[in-house]
Structure 1
Amino acid sequence: MYQRCFDNASETLFVAGKTPRLSRFAISDDPKWESGHHVHDNETELIYVKKGVARFTIDSSLYVAHADDIVVIERGRLHAVASDVNDPATTCTCALYGFQFQGAEENQLLQPHSCPVIAAGQGKEVIKTLFNELSVILPQSKNSQTSSL
Structure 2
Amino acid sequence: MGRLIKNHWARLLMLSAAGWQVGAAIEGFFWPKVFWDFITTSLDVAVKPIPVLQILNLVFGLLVLAWEWPLKFIAGTPPHRSIVLRLLVYPLGALLCALMYQSGDVAIYYLIGMAAYFWAYSEGEVVCATPWTLPKRNTSSPSQKV
Q: TM-score range by the shorter chain?
A: under 0.3
Higher helix share: 2
| Structure with bigger gyration radius | 2
- Which is richer in strand? 1
TM-score norm. by structure 1 comes to 0.23
TM-score between the two structures when normalised by the length of structure 2: 0.23
